[in-house]
Amino acid sequence: MTRVLLTGSTGFVGQALSQKLLDKNFDLIAAVRKRSSTLPKLAKQVIIEGLTSEADWLAALNGVSIVIHTAARVHVMNDNVADPLVEFRNVNVEGTLNLAKQAVSAGVKRFIFLSSIKVNGEATGIGKPFTADDSPSPIDPYGISKAETEKALMEISAKSGMEVVIIRPVLVYGPDVKANFLSMMRWLSRGFPLPLGAINNKRSLVSIDNLIDLIIVCIDHPAAANQVFLVSDGEDLSTTNLLQRLGNALEKPARLISIPSGLINVVASLLGKRKVAQRLLGSLQVDITKTRELLNWSPPVSVDVALKQTAKVFLQKDNAD
């Protein structure tokens, strides 16, 4: 039985991935800061104090063949630390490289790193998607830290022979999603009129089921070794279309008012919400052709099915409250 070490096991992706790994009969070692009651009972939990340059991974890596590294200092909209880049580098770069070097010493065969589309950049023109082989062009500290980690991991692989697989997801959604996606569901479920009925952007998203399916494929696919992959649902949506289809999933038709995006941008800037407006109005598309062809992979779950699953859990919890 293949032993897998999963970091970030209590996070949004990690919890869902934990169950899927057990379903696939992997011997799962879940790295946690403290024991968690939310993880599946069959997951063996190993306490790691944090993703730092000094953390000791020896016990967690015992007998491990595959490391799936999803833990990170995550991107936040309003970071109030004095120097965000230093903080991101301490955790995402130094902490990850410490784990990777110990993984090499422990004889790990493959290291799967969950990176971010922010390595490519923040936005695309419509019909000009990012590709996996584009030169990195990160802008914010989080994206910069992920890009630096990718580069260093590939250097470790070249020197050691441990295979590295890098996956850069776009925005991930699914049951129990938080942040802006959760806010959209709340707006729609409460019938708020939204001034987003005429947005003609294009954005790639990925459901958590599709992301996890790709991660599972990358565990042992020979062609995945030392490659970078982008992942999405394979269908790009405008904000208007996303709200309409999410409203349908919630059985609460979206009440959308058509206001020119230029006017929305002006108002958002005046209110200090330019970054929020960029996410609602701007485009960010990815081309997953390399992922499809090299791995013979296609997203198994459609957008509408994934939205329905997401809405179902939201409604259950919303009604319970």
Is the Cβ–Cβ distance between 67 and 5 less than 8 Å?
A: yes
Distance CA 21, CA 17 (A): 6
DSSP of 230-261: EE--S--B-HHHHHHHHHHHTTS---B----H
Active site residue 142: yes
* Among candidate residues 276, 272, 275, 238, the one with its CA nearest the CA of residue 258: 238
Residue 203 DSSP code: B
Is the Cβ–Cβ distance between 213 and 299 less than 8 Å?
A: yes
Choose the catalytic residue: 57, 142, 229, 314: 142
Is the Cβ–Cβ distance between 113 and 69 less than 8 Å?
A: yes
Q: If you compute the radius of gyration of the chain from its CA atoms, what whole number of angstroms results?
A: 20
Contacts (Cβ under 8 Å, ≥6 apart) of 317: none
Residue positions annotated with a catalytic role:
142
